[in-house]
């Protein structure tokens, strides 16, 4: 069965520091991969997605993610974190049309 693992429940970084959020998936073929951000009590906003092609994808708000097939990973990165980036981040995989499977999320805390 398809699954998504986000091994870090929460991460704390200092403002201005770099960030990497981990995501591993389990799927037989190359899935569609997504990163979403959720602010408290809010819905989800798409940060970026990977369907095919260049394995390094750029998203909004300065985020990027790299698809590594050999590691079944799709880690999210940002070179310099801002206080407004504090939120919950979800990695998701879509093995087929229209059906997202979400990881358990990583809560990002930003130290001033």
Partner 1 sequence: GAVVSQHPSRVICKSGTSVKIECRSLDFQATTMFWYRQFPKKSLMLMATSNEGSKATYEQGVEKDKFLINHASLTLSTLTVTSAHPEDSSFYICSAQQEEYEKLFFGSGTQLSVL
Question: Using CB under 8 A, which of 35, 63, 74, 90 touches partner 1?
Answer: 90
DSSP H or E stretch at residue 34: strand 32-38
Smallest separation, CB 51 to partner 1 (Å): 7
DSSP H or E stretch at residue 112: none
Cα–Cα nearest to 37, from 112, 97, 110, 111: 110
DSSP H or E stretch at residue 31: none
Question: Using CB under 8 A, which of 13, 19, 23, 34 touches partner 1?
Answer: 34
Please report whether residue 83 would count as binding partner 1 according to CB under 8 A: no
Give the binding site for partner 1 (CB under 8 A).
Answer: 9, 32, 34, 36, 41-46, 49, 51, 90, 94, 98-105
């Amino acid at each position: 069965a398809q699954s998504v693992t986000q091994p870090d429940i929460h991460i704390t970084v200092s403002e201005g520091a770099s960030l990497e959020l981990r995501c591993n998936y389990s799927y037989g073929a190359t899935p569609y991969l997504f990163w979403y951000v959720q602010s408290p009590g809010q819905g989800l906003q798409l940060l970026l997605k990977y369907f095919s092609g260049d394995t390094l994808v750029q998203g909004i708000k300065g985020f990027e993610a790299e698809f590594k097939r050999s590691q079944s990973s799709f880690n999210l990165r940002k070179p310099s974190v801002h206080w407004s980036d504090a939120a919950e981040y979800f990695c998701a995989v879509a093995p087929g049309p229209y059906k997202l499977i979400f990881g358990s999320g990583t809560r990002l805390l930003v130290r001033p």
